[in-house]
Structure formats: structure tokens, C-alpha cells
Amino acid sequence: MKFHQAGDKSKAICEDCGSVVPATFAYRDVPFDDGNGVAKDVLAIVCDNCDRVVALPAPSTPAVVRARKAAEIPLEVSLTAPEMDLLDLAAFRIDPQAGTKLRKTLIAYFLRRLSEDSDSILRLQQNCLNFKKQRSSAAGIPSRRLSLKLAPRTNDNIRALMQSTGLKKSQLIRGVIGEIQEVLVLPDHPKELGKIREIADLITA
Ligand SMILES: [Zn+2]
């Protein structure tokens, strides 16, 4: 990608002039894409004939796209305290300071991985069964409520995995926690800890 600066020359179609025109990169106030207000001093491509903003170079587009509140879909599942502890222990290994912030990141990350992995179905079902055995072998385990707000694409992964595994939502989340346990909690030196830490850094930054 070429990095343009103010003063660089270009050509563009200008609607006002009705033709291809010589144009120049320059800083202009550009309306936000939702029409409410302007983004100040954005590098734009301006018609040399009439001074209309005729195009925006790619690096300038984030400045004028209004950050939209992504639609969030609530996820509410009942877990046992040990299941929740596993999730929090994995989060602690990634970042001891993150508190409960990484719960969602971990669940979403693993849901995506699992939905891309054709061997995951049996593992998820098996994990879910293991947790069920633990629950029935110990009486008086407190329950915990996992309550998250998910992006639509994460919710899509949940629905697809529920279909392919035949698990209910809470069972699927248990299956995912089982996978997190395998990858991040049980190994002394989890292979993927570094990679997942980098992702988590981006999110908690
Ligand atoms: Zn023009």
C-alpha cells in the first residue's frame, strides 16, 4: 500500500465536474458516513478544478466511519463453580490482572477455533460428558452464572456448533471450557499461551 501525503497528485472522477479530473491529496473536513457531523482534517483526494472531495484514500476511511455499537447478543448459561473456575484459571494464566474481562475473549476465541475444526464434535461431546460425571459424583457443588454479551458472529458459531454436536447451549459452553482446560490449564507449559496472550493484549489494551 502506497503511503500518500498532502500534495501528492492523482486522478479521480469528480461528480461536480462530470469528468476525470486532476486531483490532489489534501486535508479536509469530511462528513461522517452517518451524515452527523464531520471528521476534522482527514487526508482526502480533492478535485483540482472545483475543490470537491472526490475520494478518500483507504487509511482515512476509519476516521469517517462512525464506530457503531455492534449488536450484542446475550449469552446466559448456568455452570458449576469448578467449571467457572477452570475458565477463570485459563484467563489468569493469560493475564493475572485481567480479572473476568477475558472470559468472553476466551469463549469467543475457542468457539471460532472449534467451529473451524472438523474433529471438534466428538471432543466437545466427550468434554461435556466428563463434566457431567464430575457433577454427579460430588454433591453440594455451587452453581455459577456465566453472563456475556456476544458479537453476532460468535453467536453464529454457537448455533453452528449446537447443530453439529447436538448439544444444548449450556452443554456446548461446558464442552468449550473442557477444550480450554486441555489447551491452557492442564499443560505445564501451554504451547499456545504466547499466541493467545498476544490476542488478549490487543483486547485488554
Ligand atoms: Zn470537480
Which helix or strand (DSSP H or E) is residue 46 part of? strand 38-47
Distance (angstroms) between ligand 1 centre and the Cα of 65 equals 24
Are 109 and 200 in contact by the 8 Å Cβ rule? The answer is no
pLDDT of residue 158: 95
pLDDT of residue 188: 94
pLDDT of residue 65: 82
Distance (angstroms) between ligand 1 centre and the Cα of 59 equals 22
pLDDT of residue 70: 63
pLDDT of residue 125: 92
Low-confidence ranges of the chain (pLDDT < 50): none
Are 186 and 110 in contact by the 8 Å Cβ rule? The answer is no
Residue 161 CB coordination number (10 Å): 22
Distance (angstroms) between ligand 1 centre and the Cα of 125 equals 63
Distance (angstroms) between ligand 1 centre and the Cα of 63 equals 23
Distance (angstroms) between ligand 1 centre and the Cα of 53 equals 8
Domain extents for the chain? 9-64, 73-204
Distance (angstroms) between ligand 1 centre and the Cα of 81 equals 66
pLDDT of residue 61: 85
pLDDT of residue 85: 93
